[in-house]
């Protein structure tokens, strides 16, 4: 059965709103403050690697905005089980509007890394040490952003070799946490990926709304 996901909120709904790290105001997600997560996504993502973490983050009260190459574009998973829509386009957002980045796997990351705007957007989260949550083929986007050298992480088996060749410390386990970075290998790792991602998001300082 195909599952359609609809946008339930808007980004930056009021003028003068504090924005993430930029405010310098320390609050914590576990104290009831919503963490704003950018989910970068294109067609042919791995359905479960998008939907299950997406649902998990939202169930924790976090805000997940789907950022695509073009606002309004319909995005169907490669298994055909999940369909969603890009709530905003990459040309309409700035990294400072978000507190964390989520990169689902499948073929989506390979599409995204061909767009310099997506690469620049991704790199900005590493420049500011904001949480980055990447599963399966997600680290392909990190390779293109040139942010994996010296970092400890994991990925889909074929991507592990690519990561090693560019200087990453690759380990083959269900989830790896390295400072602001959480990575996992495949759909069977999703529960561990969600668990460790939520733990990291609980430590995120965010601005008051």
pLDDT in tens, 139-176: 999 999 999 999 999 999 999 999 999 999 999 999 99
Q: What is the pTM of this model?
A: 0.85
d(CA 137, CA 105): 5
User: Residue 133's pLDDT is what?
Assistant: 98
d(CA 111, CA 90): 13
Judged against a pLDDT cut of 50, whether residue 17 lies above it is answered with: no
Judged against a pLDDT cut of 60, whether residue 187 lies above it is answered with: yes
For the chain, domains (ranges, CATH) are 27-201 (3.40.50.880)
User: Residue 22's pLDDT is what?
Assistant: 27
Instruction: Name the packing angle between helices 190-201 and 47-59 (round to 10°).
Output: 40
User: Residue 206's pLDDT is what?
Assistant: 52
User: Residue 32's pLDDT is what?
Assistant: 57
Per-residue pLDDT tens over the stretch 51-73: 999 999 999 999 999 999 999 99
User: Residue 34's pLDDT is what?
Assistant: 86
Active-site positions? Answer: 136-137
Choose among 203, 197, 205, 199: nearest CA to 49.
Answer: 197
């Amino acid at each position: 059965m195909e599952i359609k996901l609809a946008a339930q909120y808007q980004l930056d709904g009021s003028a003068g709103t504090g924005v993430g790290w930029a405010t310098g105001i320390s609050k914590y997600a576990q104290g009831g403050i919503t963490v704003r997560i950018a989910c970068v996504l294109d067609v042919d993502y791995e359905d479960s690697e998008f939907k299950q973490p997406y649902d998990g983050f939202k169930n924790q009260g976090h805000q997940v905005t789907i950022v695509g190459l073009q606002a309004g574009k319909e995005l169907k998973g490669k298994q055909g089980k999940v369909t969603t829509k890009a709530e905003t386009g990459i040309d309409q957002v700035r990294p400072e509007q978000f507190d964390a980045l989520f990169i689902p796997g499948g073929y989506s990351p390979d599409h995204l890394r061909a767009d310099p705007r997506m690469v620049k957007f991704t790199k900005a989260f590493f420049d500011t040490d904001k949480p980055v949550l990447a599963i399966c083929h997600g680290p392909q986007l990190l390779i293109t952003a040139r942010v994996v050298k010296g970092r400890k992480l994991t990925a889909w088996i074929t991507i592990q070799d690519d990561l090693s060749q560019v200087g990453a410390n690759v380990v083959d386990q269900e989830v790896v946490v390295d400072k602001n970075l959480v990575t996992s290998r495949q759909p069977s790792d999703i529960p561990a990926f969600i668990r460790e991602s939520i733990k990291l998001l609980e430590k995120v300082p965010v601005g008051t709304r």
